[in-house]
């Protein structure tokens, strides 16, 4: 049974938790107005109380509920031409297709880049062009197009380069491409300034003169719209007929969903439709690479955003971080089951190697961060650095620090030449990409960019102190000095009520992700029946309600954190515990499971 607060006392902390073990104040997500909205939603649309509360707590008004619960792609898909530069880009790519030009897809080495490259490769293959894919080496080439790569592609016979998830700030590389006679089209989503690189077309919903309102899309979403635009042109030119069938673009929504979730863009609007329909496409296992990766990951049951972001995504990223950067794109573009299986096995191996590197680096980074914070609240943005860190893993370290300390974090790997390759992850409300670009404008960084939740940068070792001060000052003014914040609770539950059926109701309001957060439930005064560490520093427990019902629970990567230590020290005792619910499927059995994200003494 759901339990909620008396809204007349909304100023009180939820369950009286003023400061949890992770240092957060627990608050009820719904204020009095949202609670009334939840009642309206339930009455007007016949939804259950829990679904109504979830929707109201995320700002969904009563009139929007039907469309929100069923995000129809047909209704939400815009005309691709609303994107500035799209018509020119689509015409240029269509010209290359009809003329049989050699095309190379130049992608980024993360999941968004790999899915974008694979989607465009699959589309071009379907319309008669076997395009090459080029992913730069993270260590030796860095992010995005570079002049040397352009020269290499021109020498190999490429006539058109399509940059996906990169290229918007690659002025020198694209200027070199022009000198070499290469055509270049950029399909990107990273934030840019007033100036654009020399290209035949730049499609980027975040360019200053784009009024499409689609700046929340991942690059793979922009790539999908580009494929729609090219397809429309080819259809008009009579490219399809008895000898060549027009492709069904919806079959590639599994790739769009994967890139969208892994790039941590808001799951709102068109992105919701992409992920909702893409998860269904992925469940059909029509992409041999994704199917092979799911198998080596021992992914059971239908895929969820969690599986995309924390199971499949890290394995695809592992190639770009510490191995062959092109492995992920090759896997996702392959139709050969044997090749797919071999690549999936290699990515799984690289992921385990990456995990070992990450463990060692994270221990050092946490120690540095704790020293920086000291006995007070510490800086609003954490900046850590080391000469021993692998530059391909710093993004993961930044993400772990962000989660652990509940504030934006940047991790930097210092190279022998004195330059640091850094990556940052942010929290809602602080646009880290914008702060990084400001640091570039101030001359603190050699280069940098990104979007609200993630950014990359290059900094000289001697400017690390300046970077720390700049980011801390800028973020403090935005966050009002509140670096830690609060944890919003959707409702209180007893272990008895955390059933598979309830989770099914909760999932009706999904998919969840950035901009549409997963519901958080509090379990008041539940006894920890057992607590133990397993695997890579996870803490496994059983929560027992007063009637004796037990609920499986797990705090991931928490063994050496305050939360993990508190759980381990509280074996047999009762705590308030907060987390998110999911269905655990193992060997044909289904049972509810809680992912613990916080706890507090009763």
Report the pLDDT value the prediction gives residue 464, as an integer from 0 to 100.
Answer: 95
Query: Which residue segments constitute the domains of the chain, with CATH numbers given?
Result: 7-67+486-601 (2.40.50.460), 75-349 (3.90.1640.30), 378-479 (3.10.310.30)
Phi, psi of 390 (to 5 degrees): -75, 125
Report the pLDDT value the prediction gives residue 277, as an integer from 0 to 100.
Answer: 96
Report the pLDDT value the prediction gives residue 579, as an integer from 0 to 100.
Answer: 97
**Which DSSP state fits 327?**
H
**Which DSSP state fits 7?**
G
Q: Produce one character per residue of 293-302: b if its CB has 16 or more CB atoms within 10 Å, e if not.
A: bbebbebeee
Q: Of 186, 177, 173, which is closest to residue 88 (Cα–Cα)?
A: 186
Residues whose CB is less than 8 angstroms from the CB of residue 445 and which lie 6 or more positions away in sequence, other chains included = 436, 439, 457, 458, 459, 463, 467
From first CA to last CA, the distance across the chain in angstroms is 20
CB atoms within 10 A of CB 412: 27
Contact 308, 257 (CB under 8 A): yes
Sheet holding 409-414, edge to edge: 382-386, 409-414, 419-425, 454-460, 447-450
pLDDT tens digits for range 567-599: 999 999 999 999 999 998 776 688 999 999 999
- 489 to 2, 57, 517, 564: CA distances (angstroms): 12, 10, 11, 20
Q: Is the peptide bond before 511 cis (omega within 30 degrees of 0)?
A: yes
Residues whose CB is less than 8 angstroms from the CB of residue 387 and which lie 6 or more positions away in sequence, other chains included = 413, 414
Contact 80, 225 (CB under 8 A): yes
Q: Tell me which residues of the chain have a pLDDT lower than 70.
A: 1-11, 375, 479-485, 587-588
Report the pLDDT value the prediction gives residue 138, as an integer from 0 to 100.
Answer: 79
Residue 97 tokens read as 């297709």
């Amino acid at each position: 049974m759901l339990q909620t607060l008396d809204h007349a006392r909304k100023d009180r902390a939820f369950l009286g938790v003023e400061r949890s073990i992770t240092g957060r104040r627990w608050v009820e997500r719904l204020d009095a107005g949202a609670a009334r909205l939840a009642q309206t939603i339930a009455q007007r649309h016949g939804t259950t109380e829990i679904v109504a509360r979830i929707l109201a707590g995320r700002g969904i008004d009563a009139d929007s509920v039907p469309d929100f619960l069923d995000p129809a792609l047909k209704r939400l898909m815009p005309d691709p031409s609303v994107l500035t530069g799209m018509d020119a880009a689509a015409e240029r790519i269509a010209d290359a297709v009809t003329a049989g030009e050699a095309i190379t897809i130049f992608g980024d080495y993360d999941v968004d880049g790999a899915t974008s490259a694979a989607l465009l490769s699959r589309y071009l293959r379907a319309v008669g062009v076997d395009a090459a894919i080029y992913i730069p080496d993270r260590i030796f080439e860095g992010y995005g197009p570079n002049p040397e790569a352009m020269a290499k592609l021109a020498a190999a016979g490429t006539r058109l380069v399509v940059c996906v998830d990169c290229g918007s700030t690659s002025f020198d590389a694209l200027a070199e491409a022009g000198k070499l006679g290469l055509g270049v089209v950029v399909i990107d989503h990273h934030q840019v300034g007033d100036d654009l690189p020399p290209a035949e077309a730049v499609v980027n919903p975040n360019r200053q003169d784009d009024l499409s309102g689609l700046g929340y899309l991942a690059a793979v979403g922009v790539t999908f719209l580009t494929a729609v635009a090219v397809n429309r042109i080819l259809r008009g030119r009579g490219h399809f007929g008895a000898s060549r069938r027009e492709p069904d673009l919806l079959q590639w929504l599994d790739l769009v969903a994967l890139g969208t979730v892994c790039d941590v863009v808001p799951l709102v609007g068109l992105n919701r439709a992409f992920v909702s329909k893409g998860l269904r496409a992925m469940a059909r296992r029509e992409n041999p690479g994704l199917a092979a990766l799911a198998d080596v990951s021992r992914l059971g049951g239908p895929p969820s955003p969690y599986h995309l972001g924390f199971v499949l995504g890290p394995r695809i990223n592992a190639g770009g971080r510490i191995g062959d950067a092109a492995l992920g794109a090759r896997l996702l573009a392959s139709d050969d089951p044997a090749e797919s299986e071999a690549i999936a096995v290699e990515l799984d191996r690289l992921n385990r190697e990456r995990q070992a590197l990450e463990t060692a680096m994270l221990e050092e980074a946490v120690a540095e961060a704790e020293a920086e914070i000291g006995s007070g609240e510490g800086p609003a943005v954490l900046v850590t650095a080391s000469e021993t860190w692998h530059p391909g893993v710093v993004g993961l370290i930044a993400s772990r620090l962000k989660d652990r300390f509940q504030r934006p974090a940047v991790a930097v790997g210092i190279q022998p030449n004195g330059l640091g390759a850094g990556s940052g992850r942010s929290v809602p409300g602080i646009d880290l990409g914008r702060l990084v670009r400001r640091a570039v404008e101030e001359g603190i960084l050699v280069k940098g960019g990104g979007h609200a939740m993630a950014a990359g940068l290059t900094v000289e070792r001697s400017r690390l102190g300046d970077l720390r001060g700049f980011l801390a000052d800028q973020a403090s003014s935005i966050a009002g000095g509140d670096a830690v914040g609060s944890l919003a609770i959707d409702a209180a539950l007893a272990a008895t009520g955390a059933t598979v059926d309830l989770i099914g109701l909760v999932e009706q309001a999904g998919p969840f992700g950035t901009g549409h957060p997963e519901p958080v439930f509090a379990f008041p005064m539940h006894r920890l029946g057992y607590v133990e560490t397993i695997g890579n520093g996870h803490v496994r427990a059983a929560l027992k309600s007063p009637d004796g019902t037990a609920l499986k629970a797990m705090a991931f990567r928490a063994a050496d954190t305050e939360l993990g230590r508190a759980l381990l020290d509280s074996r047999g005792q009762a705590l308030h515990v907060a987390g998110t619910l999911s269905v655990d499927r193992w060997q044909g059995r289904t049972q509810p499971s809680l992912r613990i994200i916080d706890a507090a003494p009763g």
